[in-house]
Amino acid sequence: MTALHSIISLLLTGLYLLVVAYLIKGWAALKRPATGNAPLNTKVTVLIAARNEAARIRYTIDDIIGQDYPKHLTEIIIVDDHSTDDTAAIIRSYATHGVKLLQLNEDKPLNSYKKKAIAEAIALSTGELMVCTDADCRMGSQWLSSIVGYYETQQAVMISSPVTYFEEVSLFERLQTLEFSYLIGIGAAFIGNGRASTCNGANFAYRKDVFYEVGGFKGIDDLASGDDELLLQKVAEVYPEKIGFFKSREAIVFTHAKHTLQEFLQQRRRWASKSTRYKDKKVVALAVCIWLFNLSLLVNAGLGFYNIFYLKLFLVQFLLKYVIEVGFLLPITAFFKRSNLVGLLVILIPIHIVYFVYVGLIGNTRKYAWKGRIVR
């Protein structure tokens, strides 16, 4: 029994090493393309769905209206999703800057208010390229022009761009930044390997006509989350070679880590809830194998208290996981100019093993809280 257990543990470890090596290859394959110096001429619609974001939405709007992209080619639509604070009033105060406010007025409960908000905004939009972000994000003045430059030179129909956390005030938040860099790196690496599967809706662009061509959110609108990854996967079925990750520092969007463990776990449960709906079942199978690998680490660590053999097995797995993840994270954190965070990996890994197994168990089995609502 011990031999079989060891073989399974080492096979799962080997598979994990191969997956991360594949990700390292995908990240390295992403080169920043020359976007040229030709005048940009794409009409862009910036879309934001906001709910109870009065505390920070001014910063986001200021950053967007401060973009160096031509104003006559920029449309800004912000949808207020039944906010109970001053979000709508703040958005309305920017009307003289061309910011359009759309207020949802649904009389029947929905499970995916955000998808409804985005779809309503797209229906009103006049732009060719939809650029989505969130109401608590910050970006540099070249954010929009750099993305449009990539769009015009690469002819991509959908563009995922980098997102990172900033302004951390605690070790917990810095650990989240490191883990989030890993997640952003996974999405980028899959695109780099020509197999788009994940992205982040805080920095996501796509052609309006392609959104309608794939049926918009139809078929995925029963889930509260998934306005980014599940839409990307629909587009990837039709345009597998036309999805890009824009590996440019000018295109980075900045947001904040969660302040409490409860907020963090709710967010991760929301993200995990999308996994069973992934169209690429090979990616789902890989995710299951990675979950089993982390479960084997947890089991071996527990058994190590009773038998030193299992402790040694756990330490081998841990060391191999640590080495390969350092190799993956170093170039990603260097891109974000946060290489110092890799030193926290030895702390993050044990925590990540436990939470990854936990979230994998409950992410698809229970409802969760999001923006003051209980959804699934």
pLDDT in tens, 69-121: 999 999 999 999 989 999 999 999 999 999 999 998 876 666 678 999 999 99
Query: What average pLDDT score do residues 345-357 get?
Result: 94
Residue 267 above 80 pLDDT? yes
* Boundaries of domain holding 293: 2-26+280-370
pLDDT for 366: 57
The pair of three-digit structure tokens given for residue 171, joined into one six-digit string: 């070790």
Which residues share a beta bridge with 139?
Answer: 253
Q: Domain check: are 74 and 129 in the same one?
A: yes
Q: Kindly report which listed range (49-58, 217-226, 255-264, 276-285) carries the lowest average pLDDT score.
A: 276-285
Residue 244 above 60 pLDDT? yes
Residue 268 domain-assigned? no
Q: Of 205, 226, 259, which residue sits at a domain end? A: 259
Q: Domain check: are 295 and 350 in the same one?
A: yes
Query: What average pLDDT score do residues 204-215 get?
Result: 97
CB 66 within 8 A of CB 145: no
pLDDT band at 307 (very low <50, low <70, confident <90, very high): very high
Residue 313 above 80 pLDDT? yes
Query: What average pLDDT score do residues 264-289 get?
Result: 79
Q: Domain check: are 221 and 285 in the same one?
A: no
C-alpha separations of 179 from 88, 224, 225, 345 in Å: 33, 23, 20, 9
Percent of the chain with pLDDT over 90: 77
pLDDT for 286: 86
Handedness of CA 80, 83, 87, 88 (dihedral sign): positive
CATH number of the domain bearing residue 136: 3.90.550.10
Q: Domain check: are 71 and 199 in the same one?
A: yes
- Convert the pLDDT of each residue in 114-147 to its tens digit: 999 999 999 999 999 999 999 999 999 999 999 9
Q: Of 215, 230, 259, which residue sits at a domain end? A: 259
pLDDT for 369: 59
- Residue among 288, 261, 276 at smallest CA distance from 365: 276
Residue 355 domain-assigned? yes
DSSP state of 247: -
DSSP state of 39: P
CB 368 within 8 A of CB 270: yes
Residue 370 above 60 pLDDT? no
- Convert the pLDDT of each residue in 195-206 to its tens digit: 999 999 999 999
Residue 179 domain-assigned? no
Residue 342 above 70 pLDDT? yes
CB 375 within 8 A of CB 203: no
Handedness of CA 215, 221, 223, 225 (dihedral sign): positive
Distance between CA 298 and CA 150 in Å, rounded? Answer: 43
Q: Domain check: are 46 and 21 in the same one?
A: no
Q: Domain check: are 225 and 311 in the same one?
A: no
The pair of three-digit structure tokens given for residue 269, joined into one six-digit string: 């449960």
Q: Domain check: are 120 and 213 in the same one?
A: yes
Residue 337 domain-assigned? yes
Residue 228 domain-assigned? yes
In this structure, which amino acid lies at residue 153? T
Residue 376 above 70 pLDDT? no
Q: Domain check: are 21 and 129 in the same one?
A: no
DSSP state of 339: G
**17 Cβ contact list (under 8 Å, min separation 6):** 320, 324
Q: Of 259, 294, 314, which residue sits at a domain end? A: 259
Residues in the chain: 376
Distance between CA 258 and CA 204 in Å, rounded? Answer: 21
Residue 342 domain-assigned? yes
Q: Domain check: are 227 and 126 in the same one?
A: yes
Q: Domain check: are 237 and 364 in the same one?
A: no
Residue 265 domain-assigned? no
pLDDT for 283: 82
pLDDT for 174: 98
- Residue among 264, 200, 208, 256 at smallest CA distance from 235: 208
Query: What average pLDDT score do residues 351-369 get?
Result: 78
Radius of gyration of the chain measured on its C-alpha atoms: 21
Residue 273 domain-assigned? no
The pair of three-digit structure tokens given for residue 97, joined into one six-digit string: 């800057």
Structural domain tally of the chain? 2
Distance between CA 123 and CA 81 in Å, rounded? Answer: 16
Residue 368 above 70 pLDDT? no
Q: Domain check: are 102 and 248 in the same one?
A: yes
Q: Domain check: are 346 and 218 in the same one?
A: no
- Residue among 72, 75, 47, 52 at smallest CA distance from 204: 47
C-alpha separations of 12 from 1, 205, 294, 362 in Å: 17, 36, 9, 22
Distance between CA 130 and CA 153 in Å, rounded? Answer: 17
Distance between CA 181 and CA 16 in Å, rounded? Answer: 18
On average, the pLDDT of the chain sits at 91
Query: What average pLDDT score do residues 47-56 get?
Result: 96
DSSP characters over 181-223: HHHHHHHHHHHHTT------TTSEEEEHHHHHHTTTTTTTTTS
